[in-house]
Structure 1
């Protein structure tokens, strides 16, 4: 027993020293992570926490149990392993697997600091709740209270319906100065105003001052204004969850559940909007810190093995770690060598473009700038190049049923880029808006699918 206790204390001391060392390296490179609290957990505990989205005090629901079973089976069969889990919070909380080798723990700690820096400094996370761990616990308490009062079946059935709508939010709205839509007021229809005529000094001048075309335009303007007043909502609204909270005929506890689902959807949205950037950024920094600073001679082979597994690609799938880190490295190299701008873009000599090096050394500055203001869509749109796609064999693949293999279906750069951007638009969900809130006066919603 004493030996086991001594071993545990020794592991904790090693991790504490590694954490302090890697944090020092991260600061030296210019990273600015939140204060981070690391927790050691078993693989069962890690899978349980991951199934709750990183929040062990989250409300209970069968969906989380289903995700736990999937993670457990994946781990048991050797198909997947979660090395770390980090929560966007201040302070950040990160979970480490007890069974990890020390080299893995160091790699994970460096990876976590990359994520923490991204959470803190990327503008798409600027409006997230930095005390979400406390808020999630509050959500769990409220849901359990509703279960006690209204019964598990009633609450679970409504929660199932609410979760099926969790993607129907307007994630751009939180960055607008007018964040919340004002509540609609219904008033009795009043008689519409008459057409305003320009005053004529002399009666015979009226037909010249107020010609038929002018009067028709005035009438149409008034009709449009009246129609706009009748329309509800005045403009198509994308935040369908908020609309339901405000206007649907629901009990208070049902509105509360919708508000919980909506708040958590907005919290998780930036992670979906920046998945490629965020994972690529963390991978970039764990690789740099480990290979340039923290790695010991005896750890090189294990690090290379586990790092390469992180970057592995499967046919028909995009690995955000791989695509992200390679794009970050591409940006750094291009801005170090000056491979951007009009002169470079208009150069038709492929040999000259490959050898292009103005020795600007602006790469590090550029990637920190990109980290601050971009999301995945703008990241791909601005920095994915034809040369990058060729170098990394990033083509459009399709499955050939005859050969039972994935084969290149399209090498066209614009098609490749368009395919990637299409996957990322609205986090991969269809864009649906409320066109009318009381369709044909039947208390029904008219929804429109926007093909953007």
Structure 2
């Protein structure tokens, strides 16, 4: 039986046409299952992050209320939702016009092509629909056994720590192989030699086996005390807690669920601009060149312009993404790259530059495969693009008591944008020592990048980490240029001056 026949015949025909257009353009995507939902159902699914089943927690209900009120008051409307899965699942709003359904389907096929081919998603679980249902079953089992409040309180604390993972660990090798590490440790091991003697036949009398064994034990114990724990800073704080914190079995399982889901969702945040821009590029291409009927043009233009609208104080990933994709395609079509172009000093000549290479389509497919938002912006955000899009940074002027444009300089704008995207603009925290000052305390270090921590957030985070570690937790950071050590021992917060 064809799994897509659940769609009404009218939508099924639209789906087949739009899918055909997408494949004609070269998009390569997983099989995609569309489901039609009413606004109340789609809000429920959206509150669960696009999944029909998640573990029970109050934040999903809060999100549902927010989405429902936004729809009822006409403030927001969910047009499309798609899940990185194989097969992929996407949702259509029942009340949408046919032109909107076409737009959504074209947009979805762009997303699924990106999910399937971008390197950031290669490590993700392609059967996450099943995994989420499994997570929900496990958490409900613990709630039935231990009580809702105990389990929900633990989830509250772990959710506040879900960003303390190593976002790059799926793509780089942080830890050496266990066998290689053991061999290296064995090579570096000090061997007990006992007392020296010039007469070889006296060696076993001066250094009997029992004496050498006792001396070797002392050397091994001394080396164990000096050995760092962990041996190198551990960016994945949740993994360190899973491996070393004295958690109960159910706590360990729930924390592993939170960590697994955090790693699943991370690539979507790391490619938000690229992904939304890619889907928008292809829905606009498919709609304007293939799928639109004459009677639908005005409605499409109205809704498409709403998607790309830029609001004060907000970065629209759809707008920035699609414009940058179009710019990359245009530059490679016209040959605006390479040493000759970069060495050209004439702004007017660069504007008129056109070698008619026609490499744009090939280039954007290559970029789609190999980049994330940081590398995409770093590599392709050019001075000309910045000027054309009128990009700037803004901030609050204390003197004038108002928000103002701070910088239009290309370098400053690009640095600000990259800073926002690196690690999602969140602080970089690593476990430096699991036996701080030989007292079994946890020592965390904040890699200061010029932005101080929010101290109320930092103290709440320390409290939640301490509840898992069961021993005092320390955090080293800088405040106004001075090194500070924050400590929470389970009862009170303290801080003192301390330099690294």
Q: Identify the TM-score tier after normalising by the shorter chain.
A: 0.7 to 0.9
Could you tell me the TM-score, scaled by structure 2's length? 0.78
Q: How does 1:11-160 map to 2 (within 5 A)?
A: 12-160=8-156
Structure 2 distance, partners of 1:167, 1:90, is: 26
Deviates more, 1:403-412 or 1:51-60: 403-412
Which residue among 400, 421, 433 is the counterpart of 1:424? 421
Structure 2 distance, partners of 1:238, 1:422, is: 19
Match of 2:359 in 1: 362
Which residue among 306, 324, 335 is the counterpart of 1:309? 306
Could you tell me the TM-score, scaled by structure 1's length? 0.87
Structure 1 distance, partners of 2:334, 2:32, is: 35
Structure 2 distance, partners of 1:109, 1:431, is: 38
Deviates more, 1:401-410 or 1:269-278: 401-410
> 1:226-255, CA deviations, whole angstroms, 9 ceiling, x for partnerless residues?
589521000000111111111100100000
Match of 1:450 in 2: 447
Structure 2 distance, partners of 1:407, 1:312, is: 21
The answer to whether the 8 A contact 1:110-1:286 is kept is yes
Match of 2:206 in 1: none
The answer to whether the 8 A contact 2:7-2:35 is kept is no
Structure 2 distance, partners of 1:387, 1:406, is: 26
Q: How does 1:273-284 map to 2 (within 5 A)?
A: 273-284=270-281
Match of 2:391 in 1: 394
Alignment root-mean-square deviation, CA: 2.6
Cα distance change of structure 1 residues 11 and 405 upon mapping to structure 2, 3 Å threshold? farther
Q: Report the secondary structure of 1:445's partner residue.
A: strand
Structure 2 distance, partners of 1:77, 1:232, is: 54
Q: Report the secondary structure of 2:354's partner residue.
A: coil
Match of 2:478 in 1: none
The answer to whether the 8 A contact 1:377-1:421 is kept is yes
Structure 1 distance, partners of 2:344, 2:7, is: 56
Structure 1: unaligned runs, 5 residues or longer? 1-8, 196-221
Alignment of 1:232 onto 2:229: yes
> 1:286-344, CA deviations, whole angstroms, 9 ceiling, x for partnerless residues?
00000000000000000000000000001121100000000000000000000111111
Structure 1 distance, partners of 2:7, 2:443, is: 59
Deviation at 1:164, TM superposition (A): 0.8
Structure 2 distance, partners of 1:53, 1:179, is: 32
Structure 1 distance, partners of 2:70, 2:399, is: 30
Deviation at 1:406, TM superposition (A): 4.8
Match of 2:373 in 1: 376
